[in-house]
Amino acid sequence: MNLLLFIPFIVFFVGCSSGVTQEQYIENMQLDNNISYSEIINTRGIYITSMCYTKTKDEVTGKISNPCYSCHTKGKIPNYYNDTNLQEEYNFPPKLMKNPFSNLFKDRSLQVAKISDDNILKYIRKSNYLDENNSIILDKVLPKSWKGYRPDCYFNFDKFGFDRDLNDNYTLWRAFRYYPFLGTFWPTNGSSDDVLIRLPKIFSKNDNGVFDIETYKINLSIVEALIKQKNITLESEVDEKKYGVDLNQNGILDGSDIINISLADKISYVGKARDALKSKTIHLALGLFPEGTEFLHSVRYIDYNSKSGLTGMAKRMKELRYAKKISWSSYSDIQRAANSELFEAQINGAEQGVMATFRGNYEEGLKNEIGWVYQGFIEDKRGDLRPQTHEETIGCMGCHSHLGATTDSIFAFARKFEGVDINDINYGWNHWSQKGLVGVKEPEVKYKNFTKTYEYSFYLKNNHSGNEFRDNDEVKDKFFDKEGAVKADMIKALHDDISILLLPSKQRAVMLDKGYRVMVKEQSYIYGRDANIKPMKNLFKELNTGDKTEVNVIVRQ
């Protein structure tokens, strides 16, 4: 992997929103939570995920499970990373051959037993992001000189998924619904979440430089078409003459209800973004987001709705994750970065991975090699959100730097629903609080050497479980018989409604909430963030150079 220079953060002695200096603010965070914003404590920071230490061979049945293919695959150009070799071998740097995620082997049963259902539900139903006046708490407590992302989303969505502030103004954040990524990211495995996108302000301005929400909608759809590298249907027909852009690429300016990408060199943004594209102050390419694109990702506890009988998103956040594309990388830049990583592996010995470091700091975020910065906030021991430490942020970087499964280092947007009718269950521009997962059909996918299949069913059949650790007994009992074969009737039902797999029962949700709450009090995130209660069994505590997984490689097309 690329070796990036680590630039230590600098603490500035300046005023803070809460009335203390920034130095005092950080010092208080460290003392209150027994953490460090400057030191790397756990083997230089953990960017390899806990799931990567999974034993693929069941010690009882001898069955081989392959959860690895979901992340480690051949990327779709311009993602030039091909890490399919990581399906076959535990190719870690020497310092990470010993599993650093000690939290996975803890037994938290006694602590969990002391937390009542009523107490944990009361806890997760209180927002730690908005106060009683719907003001953003972090905006009040962060230092005035804070250089990183200062939260500015109110999670107050109109019917088209646009966020509005306390004065009903657009913040330009827009929520979208998407197919949750495989395994760990399913709510049944411990967390609910949402993702929002925001383009730079220029994408919301018409030719006269005036804010226009329709211009912004069109530009968002153009970005979606670019990222998915396919034609995208618009929410309503657009008069191309008004925008001066041939969106359907039929050679004339008429009415269009699609974004056509068949002639890539003729694609353009609309409004003032078109002028910026012509002057090359912003860029456009298939498979890439324009510079200035932002994503906001809240990770939350799981609540239970007694009226619907369903589990879903809680008010309390476990984390608030932020990403911004701060610079443009061309296809050749991205390919060079991928080739550089391959070259480093070759000169250091193909049998061992190379330890990566990341440029940046906890305040402004850590940067990957293709122009994105990642920063986050996480619960302190009392449950309030605090800035992640440098080391905690490193935990985000492995998934957003060197994976074949991402699109321009992002997961969710390429998986966005494409429905354009606001009444459709598959309408893409909504928040989960507005429209959930119930009734959403299972997505179909294509893997090399396999016929077209269903994505989640395929995962269950090849992983023999509902998560990488194979410890989700609820999914196991629901979808597998005593011999470990998938139940045909449940798979058939899954095709018509993914919620029967993805949503946990109330009992499971409450237990996982409790398990995570215990870890929050410990402030032990650098040793793993999984909400386990019992020690996990299907994990290596230590690996040896050259250890194989024995799986059959699966590559998505």
Q: What is the mean pLDDT of residues 534-553?
A: 94
Name every residue whose Cβ is closer than 8 Å to that of residue 116 and which is 6 or more positions away in sequence: none
Report how far residue 388's alpha carbon sits from residue 86's, in angstroms, rounded to the nearest whole number: 28
User: pLDDT for 412-441, tens place per residue?
Assistant: 999 999 999 999 999 999 999 999 999 999
Q: What is the pLDDT of residue 545?
A: 85
Q: Give per-residue pLDDT as tens, 499-541.
A: 999 999 999 999 999 999 999 999 999 999 998 999 999 999 9
Please name the residue ranges forming H helices in 261-389.
Answer: 272-278, 331-347
**What's the pLDDT at 351?**
54
Q: pLDDT tens digits, residue range 446-478?
A: 999 999 899 999 999 999 999 999 999 999 999
The per-residue pLDDT for range 168-197, each reduced to its tens digit, is 999 999 999 999 999 999 999 999 999 999
547: alpha, beta or left, given left = phi > 0 and alpha = psi -120 to 50?
A: beta
Q: Where are the alpha helices (DSSP H) in 376-528?
A: 390-397, 455-463, 473-479, 488-496, 499-502, 506-522
The confidence score (pLDDT) of residue 353 equals 65
CA terminus-to-terminus distance, the chain: 24
User: Which whole-number Å values give the CA distances from 250 to 241, 258, 310, 431, in the listed order?
Assistant: 13, 11, 47, 34
Task: Please state whether the peptide bond connecting residue 151 to the residue before it is cis, i.e. omega within 30 degrees of 0.
Answer: no
Phi, psi (degrees; rounded to nearest 5) at 257: -120, 15
Give the pLDDT score at 342: 62
What is the DSSP secondary-structure string of 27-77?
HHHHHHHT--SS---STT---S-GGGGB-SB-TTT--B---GGGTSSBPPT
Alpha carbon distance 248, 163 (integer Å): 29
Compute the mean pLDDT over every residue in the chain, rounded to the nearest whole number.
93
Model's pTM, two decimal places?
A: 0.94
Q: What distance in Å separates the CA atoms of residue 394 and residue 356, rounded to the nearest whole number?
A: 10
**Which pLDDT belongs to residue 485?**
95
pLDDT tens profile 4-55: 333 333 333 333 455 678 899 999 999 999 999 989 888 766 889 999 999 9
Q: What is the pLDDT of residues 82-128, one digit of tens each?
A: 999 999 999 888 888 999 999 999 999 999 999 999 999 999 999 99
Residue 342 to residues 149, 407, 461, Cα–Cα distance (Å): 33, 19, 32
Cα–Cα distances in Å, from 144 out to 27, 152, 247, 358, 366? Answer: 16, 14, 43, 26, 21
Is the pLDDT at 1 greater than 60? The verdict is: no
- Average pLDDT (254-262) is 97
3-class state of residue 490 by DSSP = helix
